Structure 1
Amino acid sequence: MNETQKTGIFWGVAVVVALIAAIVSWPSSNNDDGGNIGNVIGTPLFSEFKDPLTAASLKIVTFNEAQGELKNFEVRKDAESGLWTIPSKGGYPADAIEQMRDAANALVGLDVLDVPTDNPEDHAGMGVVEPKLEDLEPGDEGVGRLVTFKDSSQKVLASLIVGNEVKGQAGQVYVRKPGQDPVYVVKLDDTPLSTEFQEWIEEDLLQLSSIDIENVELKDYNASLGLQGVSLTKNYDVELAKDGTTWSLTALKEYDKTNPLAEPTLVSVDPDKELNSQKLNDLTNALDDLKFVDVNRKPEGISANLKADKDFAADQEAATQLAGRGFIPVPLGPNREIEILSANGELTATTKEGVKYILRFGNISGIADDDKGGDKGDASSADEGDVTGGVNRYLMVSTVVDESMFPVPELKPIPQTLEELDALDNPAPPADEPLPTELNPAEAPAPATPEMKEGESEAGADPSATDDAATPKEDGEKEGDEKKEAETEKAVEEVTAEQDGEAESSEPAESADSDAADSGDAEPASGETDASGEGESTTVGEAQEAADEQAADESPADGDEKAASESADSKAAETTAPAEKPEPDSSDVKETEEEKLERLAAVQEKITKENERKLEERKENLQQARLTSQALNARFADWYYVIPEATYSKLRISREELFDTSGQSSPNPAAMPPGMQNMQFPGFPGN
């Protein structure tokens, strides 16, 4: 190897060493994007985070400057159940599907607009200091929000410190990746990145509609736990029914102030006294729109129906925590089972589906220490006089099924014999139902009375019938009168003709003579006249008399007879002959015993199916109510809810507010009496 080659090798090694030295001596940087940070402008900040649905958890860390504390808010999807929960709130169920998608979308496709600095000293001024408790002290400023998305395997999909807005650039903010110095400018809508509890839950707590509420019960009492035990004051109970928008009072009971455990007295209310509909409507509307602002997990051992198990009685810490929030465990059950008394009474609302909601009102939120179980006060400090604006109140909710809303339906009896089938086919009329006219002679119309003939005694005739018979159809009456006059004139002419000997008697005359003879008034034969000429006059008079008698004997006259006949035919047709011949029913056809047995079996099957349908409908409705109640209790069982005081004031109605007093003042029976009864429950805090 000559000198030239040696020199070349030497210089080659020197260049390599220089490059290595240059790399080693280059200022250290933890920027993933390399030394030339200007190359990242216009590129996605998280190039691998493309699908928001892959995000299975979100954690947001913020810093409280005044207290020097970090606040963690987390939403997580359970890998097994697929349900979203809020671990930072004890695992409370989250309504996070859409909210989580929107939050993840805020970081998907987030492009870098600018890189104003990579100097750590600028971080505080841009609000991108990382919230790490070990590096912070109370009063530190410029701390940003740390937002981190992870997938189901807990791999980080995106993590970003969100700082201040860029002045003069709407929608643009400073951001920084944790552990890196460069600060980026991005256009970010951070609205979905909220740590507000209400933004991540179903706010409608009860999920009922005011129009579905049918019954409301208020139990107005106060309970507190003191050094001497449990103090209890019961004011009144009231049961109210709601039909649409109309309220009615079912029962009002008041308690003896000196003995709250005594049975209440039923109060008689003036029927003219009106309920305070405005207050009651406000109450149901508040139930419809009941929202809560926070939750705390209840101690173990309290079931969904707010009864305690045996182990709970020995858990003094759990009992103290419960009482600190205004829910006092006392042995009230028949076998001294532990039940819950509320600091400020109860409200029960039953829906038309048969689900009964029970709301128990506790202390003002903040009296108890939320983190350590609440030993900073008792329920006595929760009186209305101590309430100030903006405070909240603890609430516990449970549900049961009101089985009185599902009465057993009335079932139709099933015939078992042919005699019972016959009785079903021909049921006896009810005792208070009158018999049909044809079976009740007292109700049958009186028979028609014939027209009284001349000379008949008036005492033997029905006056009403005589009047009816003497009033024929108007047309028939006129026709009969005209016919009588014509016959009379004809009879006179015939008698006169006989006297003159012009002709023999005609048929009408013979008829008249015959009628006259029938009446017993017949005169000597025509032609036997007085020779002096008096016979003609006498004969004419006798003929006139005979004609009058004939007319009187025609009862009724031809026209009257025709009208009466038509009327009688019409009435007979109405009573005896139907307009149309009905189809013969089964009772008109003689059934054989075999046919009757077949029909009995068919009737039994039909009635059985109808009864089964009624029972099945009740069973389904009752089962649906139970399922609804179970699902609701699954949500309510583990939690104290915190509601606004303004909502509580609408749900609590005092005795004096129950009725519309129209400006009349009345004493407040709900006021605490001077000598409140103290009841001792051994084995509980305060004894």
Structure 2
Amino acid sequence: MTESMKTLLYVSTAAVVMSCVGIVVWRQTPAAEQVEEMVGKPLFTDLKDPLDAASLEIVRYDSQLGQIKPFRVAQVGGRWVIPSQSNYPADAESRLRGIATELMSVKVLGVASDLPSDHEQYGVVKPDQNNLKTSADSLGVLVRLEDKKGKPLAGMIVGRAVDSTDDASPAARLQAAGSQQRYVRLLGQDGQGQDRVFVASVDLDQFSSRFEDWIQTDLLEFSPIALDQISIREYAVTPVNQLQVKLTERSEITVREKDAQWELVSLSLYGDNGWEKGSLPPGQQINAERLNELKDAIKDLTIVGVQRKPALLSDELKGSQSQMTIDAAGKQGLERAGFWLIEGRIVSNNGELVIRMNTGFSYRLRFGRSASLGDEENAGINRYVFAVAELDEQQFPAPAKPELPALPGAEKTDDDKTDGEKQPSAAADADRRAEIEAERKRLLTEYELVFKQWQAKRRQAEIQVRNLNARFADWFFIVPEQTFQKLHLGRDDLFALADTAPSTPRFGPGSGILAPPPPPQSTTPEAPPAPPADKSKVDEPKVDEPKAVEPKADEPKADEPKADEPKANEPKADEPKANEPKSDEPPGDS
């Protein structure tokens, strides 16, 4: 090999080496010109219209369970649902539009790295089963937005927050001040993460995967002002064998709140002879504190999870059938949640609560077994609830039809009447008939008005019951155990020792009740005090002394005229007035 060829070879090798070094340097630290060109540009170029968003997927690592937790909300059949929760209805439309709008405004603030080996450092490792061996801190949160056809509109893996002391590259420190600056990797069309790590302003809190953040959590939509009565039914369900259970009734207690005071409406106890009427135990009173907690718990009853009911049972509940049937699989599904079907009636592990509203319907809540959701957000014990709405027929007695006066045509004809019964004239008969017809019309008009009001109120209650049951029918609801403990009261919880003295005044400040007005003052002047009595004449009647007050009826006075003697300026009793009979004449005088 000649010297010239050796020189050429050395130069070529050096060029290749320098090229490789240049590539490595570029991948590790992007060129300043390239970074400058990207800064300020939208991070997601395919997202043009927030209305195009039809689904949102969020995947994160659950450190408590040590597993990947996917969450997805999507529009299915025109409804927003949560597929990971058996398509439970989601309150997602406005929230998802807001998220899509926010993503459209996300701008590139800088580039941290192009090396895959830096992904762990920035916490942008894709959260999937293949990366579970990676440190939990290095797993990011995957966010993916798609349109109705499943086309990706925006996708990223959000990593840890940017620290102003980070020195991975100058770009990583760009605008690091602010808690929302995070490292971000984009997802490609194939769903895989790209190598480049950007710095962008992303609020990770808006990408919640908590079930209750995406639903209407208010289970009952309860209005305290419409509360009429609360009934607590206490019973026990005990297994007889593997196929049968026994229901043992205990008590049913109904209370109501009137004028800010709780009172007992009825108390029924179940004994050897069946149901018997009970009363408030001696020396005890209604436990207002526990009942106020119960009322607040009803208002605050929130959903933290759901489980789908057996299909056949759901269909019957939507039809509001009182007698239910269920197959073997459905029976097992009921019992797993702590409910049983006995003689066509659903019963539960922990009794029932009936909340009667003055709008014509009642909520019936049955409490089942404890339920563990097993996630970080809702760790701990919760409780299954079987909810149903029922029309309260007692609030809708049909208005009575009025008794209409009979028309003259329904009475005797003139041929059948005696001379004394016959109408004096045809004109008088027509007037009487017109009066009766007017009265009949008035009564019928009033009845029709009352009937329409009754019908409208009943129809409104029926619609409310139907809408509530359409929401309740498919699901066992899961509520916090703390709320359940306030709802689940027994006889001993409802009564307390009676106070020996009221803790608050009956009227006035501190009582919550206005004091009654004082009695009206008398306008009659008070009589002067009587002079002291002469002890020597105690037993003698006082003849000449005028009395300031009227003497007692049973103490006749000496100078008082007798009943049959006329008073001054009055006619004598035996002298009758004009055209007036003698009232005081003894019998027999004539």
If the length of structure 1 is used for normalisation, what is the TM-score? 0.59
Q: CA RMSD in A?
A: 3.3
Q: Distance in 2 between matches of 1:620 and 1:136?
A: 61
SS across alignment from 1:235 = strand
2:363 aligned with 1:357: yes
SS across alignment from 1:640 = strand
Partner amino acid, structure 1, of 2:440:
Q
Q: Which residue of 211, 218, 225 maps to 2:225? A: 211
- Which residue of the partner structure matches residue 307 of structure 2? 296
Per-residue deviation, 1:400:
0.7
- Which residue of the partner structure matches residue 448 of structure 1? none
Q: Distance in 2 between matches of 1:611 and 1:322?
A: 47
Per-residue deviation, 1:404:
0.6
- Which residue of the partner structure matches residue 103 of structure 1? 99
2:346 aligned with 1:340: yes
2:405 aligned with 1:415: yes
- Is the 2:374–2:380 contact (alpha carbons within 8 Å) kept by the matching residues of 1? no
Partner amino acid, structure 1, of 2:333:
Q
SS across alignment from 1:43 = coil
- Is the 1:221–1:236 contact (alpha carbons within 8 Å) kept by the matching residues of 2? yes
- Which residue of the partner structure matches residue 329 of structure 1? 341
Q: Distance in 2 between matches of 1:308 and 1:269?
A: 34
Could you give the per-residue CA deviations for residues 139-193 of structure 1, whole angstroms, max 9, x where no partner exists? 5541111111112222211111111100133220111112311111111222221
Per-residue deviation, 1:369:
10
Could you give the per-residue CA deviations for residues 3-26 of structure 1, whole angstroms, max 9, x where no partner exists? xxxxxxxxxxxxxxxxxxx9xx98
Per-residue deviation, 1:390:
4.6
- Aligned positions of 1:438-517 closer than 5 A: none
- Which residue of the partner structure matches residue 242 of structure 1? 257
SS across alignment from 1:191 = helix
Q: Which residue of 385, 410, 430 maps to 1:594? A: 430
Could you give the per-residue CA deviations for residues 558-595 of structure 1, whole angstroms, max 9, x where no partner exists? xxxxxxxxxxxxxxxxxxxxxxxxxxxxxxxx964334
Q: Distance in 2 between matches of 1:61 and 1:161?
A: 9
Q: Distance in 1 between matches of 2:163 and 2:117?
A: 19
- Which residue of the partner structure matches residue 80 of structure 2? 84
Per-residue deviation, 1:663:
7.9
Q: Distance in 2 between matches of 1:420 and 1:284?
A: 59
Q: Distance in 2 between matches of 1:67 and 1:269?
A: 50
Partner amino acid, structure 1, of 2:308:
R
Partner amino acid, structure 2, of 1:234:
E
Q: Distance in 2 between matches of 1:272 and 1:64?
A: 54
Moved more, 601-610 or 287-296: 601-610
- Which residue of the partner structure matches residue 160 of structure 2? 164
- Is the 1:354–1:405 contact (alpha carbons within 8 Å) kept by the matching residues of 2? yes
If the length of structure 2 is used for normalisation, what is the TM-score? 0.68
Partner amino acid, structure 1, of 2:357:
T
- Which residue of the partner structure matches residue 472 of structure 2? 636
- Is the 2:284–2:498 contact (alpha carbons within 8 Å) kept by the matching residues of 1? no
- Is the 1:150–1:157 contact (alpha carbons within 8 Å) kept by the matching residues of 2? yes
Q: Which residue of 120, 125, 133 maps to 1:124? A: 120
Q: Which residue of 212, 232, 243 maps to 1:198? A: 212
Q: Which residue of 434, 448, 458 maps to 1:612? A: 448
Q: Residues 420, 193 of structure 1: CA spacing in aligned structure 2 closer, same or farther, 3 A cutoff?
A: farther
- Which residue of the partner structure matches residue 268 of structure 2? 253
- Is the 2:341–2:347 contact (alpha carbons within 8 Å) kept by the matching residues of 1? yes
- Which residue of the partner structure matches residue 660 of structure 1? 496
- Which residue of the partner structure matches residue 319 of structure 1? 331
- Is the 1:67–1:138 contact (alpha carbons within 8 Å) kept by the matching residues of 2? no
- Is the 2:283–2:497 contact (alpha carbons within 8 Å) kept by the matching residues of 1? no
Per-residue deviation, 1:124:
1.1
Q: Distance in 1 between matches of 2:478 and 2:47?
A: 37
Q: Distance in 2 between matches of 1:348 and 1:236?
A: 13
- Which residue of the partner structure matches residue 287 of structure 2? 276
Partner amino acid, structure 2, of 1:365:
A
Q: Distance in 1 between matches of 2:64 and 2:448?
A: 69
2:57 aligned with 1:48: no
Q: Which residue of 380, 385, 396 maps to 2:386? A: 396
Structure with the bigger RCO (C-alpha within 8 Å, sep 6+) is 1
- Is the 1:110–1:187 contact (alpha carbons within 8 Å) kept by the matching residues of 2? yes
Q: Residues 63, 135 of structure 1: CA spacing in aligned structure 2 closer, same or farther, 3 A cutoff?
A: same
Per-residue deviation, 1:364:
1.2
* Structure 2 unaligned spans of 5+: 1-18, 165-176, 188-192, 412-425, 501-590
Q: Which one has the bigger helix percentage?
A: 1
Q: Distance in 1 between matches of 2:387 and 2:400?
A: 35
- Is the 1:56–1:150 contact (alpha carbons within 8 Å) kept by the matching residues of 2? yes
Could you give the per-residue CA deviations for residues 645-687 of structure 1, whole angstroms, max 9, x where no partner exists? 11111112221222231489xxxxxxxxxxxxxxxxxxxxxxx
Partner amino acid, structure 1, of 2:225:
I
Could you give the per-residue CA deviations for residues 388-408 of structure 1, whole angstroms, max 9, x where no partner exists? x95211111001101110112
Per-residue deviation, 1:329:
2.6
Q: Distance in 2 between matches of 1:44 and 1:308?
A: 60
Q: Residues 295, 224 of structure 1: CA spacing in aligned structure 2 closer, same or farther, 3 A cutoff?
A: farther
- Which residue of the partner structure matches residue 298 of structure 2? 287
Per-residue deviation, 1:64:
2.9
- Which residue of the partner structure matches residue 148 of structure 1? 144
- Which residue of the partner structure matches residue 183 of structure 2? 174
- Is the 1:213–1:284 contact (alpha carbons within 8 Å) kept by the matching residues of 2? no
How many aligned residue pairs are there? Answer: 438
Q: Distance in 2 between matches of 1:400 and 1:627?
A: 11
2:193 aligned with 1:184: no
- Is the 2:35–2:110 contact (alpha carbons within 8 Å) kept by the matching residues of 1? no
Q: Which residue of 275, 278, 288 maps to 1:267? A: 278
- Is the 1:224–1:328 contact (alpha carbons within 8 Å) kept by the matching residues of 2? no
- Is the 2:407–2:437 contact (alpha carbons within 8 Å) kept by the matching residues of 1? no
- Is the 2:61–2:136 contact (alpha carbons within 8 Å) kept by the matching residues of 1? no
Per-residue deviation, 1:63:
2.1
Q: Residues 343, 419 of structure 1: CA spacing in aligned structure 2 closer, same or farther, 3 A cutoff?
A: same
Q: Distance in 2 between matches of 1:273 and 1:207?
A: 34
Partner amino acid, structure 1, of 2:311:
E
Could you give the per-residue CA deviations for residues 457-501 of structure 1, whole angstroms, max 9, x where no partner exists? xxxxxxxxxxxxxxxxxxxxxxxxxxxxxxxxxxxxxxxxxxxxx
Per-residue deviation, 1:264:
2.1
Q: Which one has the bigger strand percentage?
A: 2
- Which residue of the partner structure matches residue 575 of structure 1? none
